[in-house]
Amino acid sequence: MKVYNERREIICARVECWAQRLNVHPRLIRVQRMTRKWGSCSTSGIVTLAADLVNQGSNFQDFVIAHELLHLRVPNHGKLFKALMTMHVPDWKRQDVRKGTS
Ligand SMILES: [Zn+2]
């Protein structure tokens, strides 16, 4: 499906933009079906994003992308992580990376 792929490319472009902004270097970006989360990040530098993220609003996309990319710098959700999130995505506290919660 052409439209879908174009939107998938938009997600990847957003990830590149955020990676530069946060000064992180993900080894691989994967966009695939995820049922329980919108994104994940492995310690080896692989960032996985849910394919249906393309159907979400741009603010939410930015939140998920920034959250996962920040894990390349801070592996937990501690004080530093929260401070960086507030710096880059001021309204992040209203969002949730888990699916099924709003
Ligand atoms: Zn996280």
pLDDT tens readout for residues 47-97:
999 999 999 999 999 999 999 999 999 999 999 999 999 999 999 999 998
* Amino acid (one-letter) located at 36: R
How far away, in angstroms, is 73 Cα from ligand 1 center? Answer: 11
Residue 6 has phi, psi (to 5 degrees) of -60, -40
Domain ranges of the chain: 2-90
**CATH class for the region spanning 2-90:** alpha beta
pLDDT in tens, 34-58: 999 999 999 899 999 999 999 999 9
How far away, in angstroms, is 76 Cα from ligand 1 center? Answer: 7
Bridge-based pairing of strands 28-32 and 46-50 is parallel
pTM, whole model, 2 decimals? 0.90
How far away, in angstroms, is 37 Cα from ligand 1 center? Answer: 10
